[in-house]
Amino acid sequence: MRQITILIIGCLFFFGSGQLLHAQQYTGMSGLIHVPSGEMDEAGEARVGAHFLNKEFTPDKGFNYEGKYNTLSHYLSITPFSWLEIGYTCTLQKGRAIDNKGQVLEGNPKLRFKDRYFSVKLQPLKEGKWWPAIAIGANDPYGTDSKEGTGKEGESPQNGDGKSQYFSNYYIAATKHIGLKGHSIGIHVAYRHWKRNYNSKWNGPVGGITYQPSFQKNLRLIAEYTGDDVNVGFDWKLWKHLLVQSSLQNGKYFSGGVCFCINLL
């Protein structure tokens, strides 16, 4: 009940102004919540922000040091051209401190390590009157070919095997918007493949529906199916440069964040 209250308060908090960005905000890239879309930001759009990730939102390995835990990501992304978007994301990981010799020290584990990765998204086809926008993309595309990776269950990042790529996935996505008396309904479908076996629950067809009301174009309500979960939430552009996003995974687990965005062109 508390999480639902947070979501409702966020929706009712206030109205903003400026153009809506389409944010898959835990990575800093455009999209829905966990699901990618065929949409892109405007050319020149840049964003920097941070996102709280509930432990249920994260991969099952790499974020389970003595049990799964909540964490944070922060990112920088830019759309240099209308058909290209790139991003750099860091997600905090728990672990104990290490000394200069590489020995693990005693003490409580803290969010002291980072999983870093690049993302890229291309849009070969823009949305038209009779056809959807099409995009292809990848998060953390470069690295080992192993399907397993990450070392032993429960180990801290410094003791892993170097084969992280916890968020590595590839996708193709399509988006089509339907206008209805000033309202906008977005239909989003994608096919996604995650590199690591422990993320296979998110493989295959995914998608969602978005709704932009006519009275507030900067607000977007979101419902999506990730292949394993049904998430609901919203993102909202405020004061031209502030974008907030709030979501509930399976209607129970809160994740959310905020970013500063600006067009450099």
Q: Residues 41-85: pLDDT tens digits?
A: 999 999 999 999 999 999 988 898 888 999 999 999 999 999 999
User: Is the model more confident about 12 or about 181?
Assistant: 181
Condensed to tens digits (0 to 9), the pLDDT of residues 146-196 reads 565 554 444 455 555 556 789 999 999 999 999 998 999 999 999 999 999
Element (H, E) at 11: helix 2-12
- The mean pLDDT value of the chain amounts to 86
Q: Output the pLDDT for position 239.
A: 86
* CA atoms in the 13 A half-sphere facing the CB of 113: 18
Task: Give 235-247 as a DSSP string.
Answer: EEEETTTEEEEEE
State what percent of residues in the chain have pLDDT above 70. 83
User: Is the model more confident about 4 or about 175?
Assistant: 175
Task: Give 66-85 as a DSSP string.
Answer: TS---EEEEEEEEEEETTEE
Q: Output the pLDDT for position 157.
A: 57
Beta-carbon contacts of 2 under 8 Å, excluding residues fewer than 6 positions away, are none
Q: Output the pLDDT for position 162.
A: 54
Q: Please state the domain extents for the chain.
A: 2-152+164-263
Q: Domain 2-152+164-263, what fold?
A: Porin (2.40.160)
DSSP state at residue 204: E
Beta bridge partners of 73: 51, 91
Q: Output the pLDDT for position 228.
A: 94
pLDDT at 250 over 70: yes
Largest CA distance in the chain: 66
